[in-house]
């Protein structure tokens, strides 16, 4: 079936087209706004670090599932999600804390926690499997893939509510702290000199990144989750240097990429998440064809 067939079939259109689009729109909206701050502050590696630290959260959830006697030794998906989210948020805050000490560079702190969390997850998953055997639990701990690698094309009604709830929370928080956050993003030394609580602002951003990454990772997969925190902002900063215009371009580019990716996924029966990443990557390289000011390069200085 091609895209026209899916849209013509009412029974298929909602679960295979409109519901995934609703979920993806929420993920794209919050991630594209955050991506501008990520690119400006050179935190692209942070998204990768947060998403991979989820391996540690999976390990913790696996052990708790066996110890607490969940069905088949597995916790309920909602509880599992909260454990992974809490673990990733803790890692993100620790990354920010380490960088605040100014003795360790941010990328070094992220890399350190990334590998430590992945190693911890591997050990804990093995511990959970052995414990499950000793306790006679029928099913082993849940696999990595079932927790970390979602697919936007198989989301359910609860995923629509979850994605838009997280999106609303992230955007509301960004609006509430927009003044100190934008001041810090555009000129950190000046912001600190004018009394902006830089450490708290950085911590808030890292928590928001954790929410966006873990939610997107659960519903769409690891690669789209991390790519969405980089590509929209990189595209927008290639085309403009006024902050509000940059934000609008980032959201517009991400939404356009989403529509094109869903069309490709339905037309050619490929995964929507990787298609979105490839479309946005193509759009980024197309910005090099824009004459004149575009330009100075992603992450160039912007003004409010």
The pLDDT tens digits of the residues spanning 75-114 come to: 777 888 899 899 999 999 998 888 765 667 777 888 888 8
How far is CA 152 from each of CA 6, 29, 268, rounded to the nearest angstrom?
16, 15, 16
pLDDT of residue 61: 86
pLDDT of residue 143: 60
Q: How far is CA 3 from the centre of its chain?
A: 27
Radius of gyration in angstroms for the set of CA atoms belonging to the chain, rounded to a whole number: 20
**Selection from 215, 197, 229, 232 nearest residue 89 by Cα:** 215
pLDDT for 103-134, tens place per residue? 677 778 888 888 999 999 989 988 888 887 77
Alpha-helical (H) ranges within the chain are 3-8, 10-13, 19-40, 44-67, 77-100, 106-135, 144-148, 157-176, 178-186, 188-193, 198-220, 222-227, 231-239, 243-268, 272-286
Euclidean distance between CA atoms 246 and 38, whole angstroms: 13
Domains of the chain: which residue ranges? 1-40+155-188+221-284, 43-146
Residue 297 has pLDDT above 60, yes or no: no
Indicate the pLDDT class of residue 299, thresholds 50, 70 and 90.
very low
| Sign, CA torsion 228/206/110/199 | positive
| Token pair of 100 as six digits | 């605040």
> Contact, 160 vs 25, CB < 8 A?
no
pLDDT of residue 156: 85
Neighbours of 105 (CB within 10 A): 11
Q: What are the backbone angles phi and psi of residue 66, rounded to the nearest 5°?
A: -75, -45
Neighbours of 173 (CB within 10 A): 16
**Selection from 89, 32, 55, 49 nearest residue 210 by Cα:** 89
Angle between helices 157-176 and 178-186 in degrees, nearest 10 = 70
Q: What is the mean pLDDT of the chain?
A: 83
Half-sphere exposure of 184 (CA within 13 A, CB side): 22
């Amino acid at each position: 079936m091609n895209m026209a067939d899916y849209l013509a079939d009412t029974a298929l259109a909602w679960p295979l087209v409109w519901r995934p689009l609703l979920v993806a729109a929420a993920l794209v909206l919050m991630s594209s706004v955050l991506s501008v701050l990520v690119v400006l502050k050179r935190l692209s590696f942070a998204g990768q670090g947060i998403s991979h630290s989820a391996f540690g959260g999976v390990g913790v959830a696996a052990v708790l599932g066996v110890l607490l006697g969940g069905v088949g030794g597995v916790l309920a998906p909602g509880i599992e999600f909260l454990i992974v989210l809490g673990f990733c948020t803790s890692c993100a805050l620790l990354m920010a804390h380490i960088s605040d000490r100014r003795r360790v560079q941010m990328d070094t702190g992220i890399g350190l926690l990334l590998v430590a969390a992945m190693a911890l997850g591997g050990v804990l998953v093995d511990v959970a499997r052995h414990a499950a055997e000793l306790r006679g639990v029928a099913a082993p701990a849940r696999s990595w893939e079932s927790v970390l690698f979602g697919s936007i094309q198989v989301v359910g009604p609860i995923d629509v509510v979850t994605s838009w709830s997280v999106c609303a929370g992230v955007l509301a928080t960004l609006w509430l702290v927009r003044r100190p956050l934008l001041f810090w993003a555009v000129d950190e030394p000046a912001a600190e000199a004018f009394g902006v609580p830089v450490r708290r602002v950085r911590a808030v951003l890292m928590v928001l990144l954790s929410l966006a990454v873990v939610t997107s990772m659960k519903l769409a997969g690891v690669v789209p989750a991390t790519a969405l925190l980089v590509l929209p902002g990189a595209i927008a900063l290639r085309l403009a240097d006024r902050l509000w215009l940059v934000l609008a371009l980032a959201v517009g580019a991400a939404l356009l990429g989403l529509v094109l990716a869903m069309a490709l996924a339905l037309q050619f029966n490929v995964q929507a998440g990787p298609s979105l990443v490839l479309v946005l990557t193509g759009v980024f390289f197309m910005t090099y064809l824009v004459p004149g000011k575009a330009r100075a390069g992603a992450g160039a200085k912007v003004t409010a």
